[in-house]
């Protein structure tokens, strides 16, 4: 691609990329380093790389990571936004900026918001159980892929109808290192924390059990989940007391995800 190096789907031509990127589209989010635009059924995340990151291989690999994670997870049967292209702009081996193009999930909600809206509409218990069963199966597919999502809170799982689930925020996905019980516990705490304000343990314990392998005892596991969730909540509330709550709060619960909290503390 003129002016950059493009990694694209095999059915995408160079002129199609140029035509797509030529449109201004709808700006969804901006920051000092990134801009996210919507172009029809696609989202474009453009990132400006600082001077140091242009030279450091690790930083460049981090920039490419969401593109790699999307393709890896799709090959493993995990539902994620459809990848279209990843483009690096620069010269002489230096990357000044990049653009990642992927599917925009129209009319999707994160699962916390979806459940909140359904509760307001009077969803019945059996339908909540079916929703949680489907979500557990989706999480199991992700875990079986060998990847680990370090921020598997409900805000990073999207659905349109409560039966199919798509994972987002793939910067937090680790493709190496495998999956183990320590990582499993962290994910279960994140998911439990996402729903425990709205749902009772009569629903959430079977949900956790559906994601538990045979070698783990639910009677031992659930106390660990509850304890870690309380510790997580205490940490977030302490952060709020010091820095104030986020401007936008989920209608079901307004707590920062663990990953987001860690990123804020490192900034």
Q: Is 80 exceeded by the pLDDT of residue 245?
A: no
Confidence of residue 58 (pLDDT cuts 50, 70, 90): low
* pLDDT, greater one: 18 or 76: 76
Q: Is 50 exceeded by the pLDDT of residue 251?
A: no
Whole-model pTM: value is 0.86
pLDDT tens figures, 19-49: 888 888 899 989 988 999 999 999 999 988 7
Q: Is 80 exceeded by the pLDDT of residue 51?
A: no
Percent of the chain clearing pLDDT 90 (strictly above) = 64
The whole-chain average pLDDT of the chain stands at 87
pLDDT tens figures, 106-116: 999 999 999 99
pLDDT tens figures, 136-193: 999 999 999 999 999 999 999 999 999 999 999 998 999 988 899 999 999 999 999 9
Is beta strand 148-149 parallel, antiparallel or unpaired with respect to 42-48?
unpaired
Looking at the DSSP bridge assignments, the partners of residue 173 are 149
Q: Is 90 exceeded by the pLDDT of residue 93?
A: no
Question: Residue 5, Cα to own-chain centre: how many angstroms?
Answer: 26
34-39 sheet: strands from edge to edge: 4-8, 83-91, 94-103, 42-48, 34-39, 26-30
- The structure tokens listed for 167 are 């994972």
The Cα-based distances of 47 to 30, 53, 181, 192, 194 in angstroms read: 10, 11, 35, 33, 30
Confidence of residue 264 (pLDDT cuts 50, 70, 90): very low
Instruction: State the sign of the Cα–Cα–Cα–Cα dihedral 258, 261, 266, 267.
Output: positive
- In the prediction, which pLDDT does 252 show? 38
């Amino acid at each position: 691609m003129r002016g950059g190096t493009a990694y694209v789907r095999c059915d995408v031509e160079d002129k199609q990329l140029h035509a797509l990127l030529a449109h201004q589209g709808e700006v969804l989010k901006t920051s000092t380093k990134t801009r996210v635009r919507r172009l029809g059924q696609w989202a474009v995340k453009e990132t400006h790389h600082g001077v140091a990151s242009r030279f450091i291989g690790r930083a460049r690999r981090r920039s490419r990571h969401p593109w790699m994670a999307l393709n890896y997870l799709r090959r493993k049967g995990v539902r994620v936004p459809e990848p279209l292209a990843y483009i690096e702009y620069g010269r002489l081996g230096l990357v000044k900026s990049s653009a990642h193009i992927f599917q925009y999930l129209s009319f999707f909600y994160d699962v916390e918001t979806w459940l909140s809206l359904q509760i307001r509409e009077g969803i019945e218990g059996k339908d909540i159980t079916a929703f949680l069963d489907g979500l557990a199966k989706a999480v199991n597919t992700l875990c079986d892929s060998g990847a680990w999502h370090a921020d598997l809170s409900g805000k990073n799982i999207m659905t349109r109808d409560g039966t199919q689930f798509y994972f987002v925020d793939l910067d937090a996905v680790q493709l190496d290192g495998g999956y183990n019980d320590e990582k499993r516990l962290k994910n279960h705490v994140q998911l439990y924390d996402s729903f425990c304000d709205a749902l009772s343990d009569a629903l959430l314990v079977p949900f956790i059990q559906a994601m538990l392998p045979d070698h783990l005892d639910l009677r031992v596991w659930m106390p660990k989940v509850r304890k870690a969730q309380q510790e997580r909540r205490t940490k977030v509330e302490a952060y709020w007391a010091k820095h104030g709550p986020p401007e936008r709060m989920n209608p079901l619960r307004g707590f920062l995800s663990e990953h987001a909290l860690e990123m804020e503390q490192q900034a």
